[in-house]
Amino acid sequence: MIIIYNSYMNTAISVKNLGKKYKHVQALDNVNVEIFTGEITGLVGPNGAGKSTLIKAIVGALNPTSGKIKVLGLDPIKKRWDLRKKIGYMPQDPALYEDLTTRENVAFFARIHGISDPKQRAEKILNELDLGQRLKSVNHTLSGGMKKRVSLACSLVHDPELLLLDEPTAALDPLLKRNLWSRFKQMSEQGKTLFISTHLMDEAMLCDKVILLREGNVIAHDTPRNLIARGNSNLHFKTDKKEWKEKVSAEGTTMAKALQQYGLSKEITKLDIDAESLEDVMISLLNDKKE
Partner 1 sequence: MKVFIIAKRVIQQLIHDKRFLGFSMVVPLIIAYFLKLFFDTMPPGFPVENYVVPFIAYIVYFLTFLLTALLVVQERVNDTLNRMLVNGVKRLDIILGYVVGYLGLAFLQAGLVLVEVLWIFDLSYETNAILAMVGTLFLQAVVSVLLGIFISIFARKEAQVIPFIPLLVVLPAFLSGFLTDTALLPRWAEILGWIFPLKYGISAMQAAIAPGVDTTELWTQLGYLGIFLVGLTILSAITFKERD
Per-residue interface string for the shown chain with partner 1, residues 48-77, x marking contact by CB under 8 A: --------x--xxxxx-------------x
Q: Rank residues 41 and 105 by Cβ distance to partner 1 and give the closer one.
A: 105
Q: Is 275 in the site for partner 1 (CB under 8 A)?
A: no
Rounded to whole angstroms, the Cα distance separating 282 from 200 reads 11
Mask 150-189, x = binds partner 1 (CB under 8 A)? Answer: ----x-----------------------------------
Name the segment binding partner 1 (CB under 8 A); options: 32-40, 88-96, 258-266, 269-277: 88-96
Q: Which is nearer to partner 1, 5 or 81 (CB)?
A: 81
Min dist CB 197 to partner 1, Å, is 15
- DSSP string computed for 104-154: HHHHHHHHHTT-SSHHHHHHHHHHHTT-GGGTT-BGGGS-HHHHHHHHHHH
> 21 forms bridges with which residues in the sheet?
26
Residue 237 in the binding site for partner 1 (CB under 8 A):
no
Work out which of 21, 111, 124, 238 binds partner 1, going by CB under 8 A. 111
Residue 7 interacting with partner 1 (CB under 8 A)? no
Binding residue (CB under 8 A) for partner 1 from 97, 119, 205, 275: 97
Residue 141, CA distances (Å) to 9, 48, 92, 152, 158 in order:
44, 30, 19, 17, 25
Residue 125 binding partner 1, by CB under 8 A: no
DSSP label at 192? -
**170 phi/psi in degrees, rounded to 5:** -60, 135
CA distance 154 to 165: 11
Stretch that binds partner 1, among 9-17, 108-116, 178-186, 211-219 (CB under 8 A): 108-116
Of residues 86 and 124, the one with the C-beta less far from partner 1: 86
Residue of the chain from 38, 108, 137, 202 that contacts partner 1 (CB under 8 A): 108
For residue 272, the surrounding DSSP H or E stretch is strand 270-275
Q: Which of 88, 59, 53 lies closest to 71, judged by CA? A: 59
CB 213 within 8 A of CB 30: no
Give φ, ψ of 8 to 5 degrees.
-110, -5
User: What residues line the site for partner 1 (CB under 8 A)?
Assistant: 22, 56, 59-63, 77, 80-81, 84-85, 87, 89, 91, 93, 95-101, 104, 108-109, 111-113, 138, 154
